[in-house]
Amino acid sequence: MTTANDAQISSVPPAQMAAWRAFLEAHAHTTELLARELKDSQGIALTWYDVLVQLHEADDHRLRMQELAERVLLSKSGLTRLIDRMERHRLVTRSACPSDRRGTFAELTPEGIAMLRRAAPTHLRGVREHFAELLDDDEATILADLLGRITRAASDATTTDRCDE
């Protein structure tokens, strides 16, 4: 396509490629470790914990399904089943949205709050031990900045590529 096919193949500079691989490895290993620690200590999956946190941070401890799906980085249907399972375990409940009858709220139950309180120390200890303690404040700030830049670019690409791709 261009003068050299090889130029295209080697088009990611070595330092950036190393960073990319380090990024993938770090994510896989840390999340696997955190997921296992949480499962072993409380018997719940990381996705469940994430739902509990998001709901806890929301007004009235509840969110619309769509909004929650975006926050926990899951598809709508994926969230529907996840909330099904958590509802069976009494950690959340569904309730109708009065102002829009299409809408459904997922809301934290007292049991859900209790579970969050039990799980949080385990999870936060894990994040601290396997991530936070390895970074000083400056490094953490730099990291958040770099990764925020990457997220924004990816989000832009996702929203715009309906048109320009």
Residue 132 vs 154, nearer CB to DNA: 154
80 binds DNA (CB under 7 A): yes
What are the phi and psi torsion angles at 19 (to 5°)?
A: -65, -40
Q: Which of residues 67-96 bind a second copy (CB under 8 A)?
A: 73
141 binds a second copy (CB under 8 A): yes
Radius of gyration (Cα) for the chain, nearest Å? 20
Binding residues with a second copy: total (CB under 8 A): 59
103 binds DNA (CB under 7 A): yes
163 binds a second copy (CB under 8 A): no
Write the DSSP string, 115-142.
Answer: HHHHHHHHHHHHHHHHTGGGS-HHHHHH
In the block, tokens 């509840």 appear at 62
Q: Which part of the chain contacts a second copy (CB under 8 A), choosing from 31-39, 80-88, 90-98, 100-108?
A: 31-39
Q: Which of a second copy, DNA, none sits in contact with 76, Cβ below 5 to 8 A by type?
A: DNA
> Reduced to 3 DSSP states, what percent helix, strand and coil does the chain have, rounded to the nearest 5?
75, 10, 20
Question: Using the rule CB under 7 A, which residue among 30, 41, 47, 109 binds DNA?
Answer: 47
Beta carbons within 10 angstroms of residue 56's beta carbon: 14
Question: Using the rule CB under 7 A, which residue among 36, 90, 128, 149 binds DNA?
Answer: 36
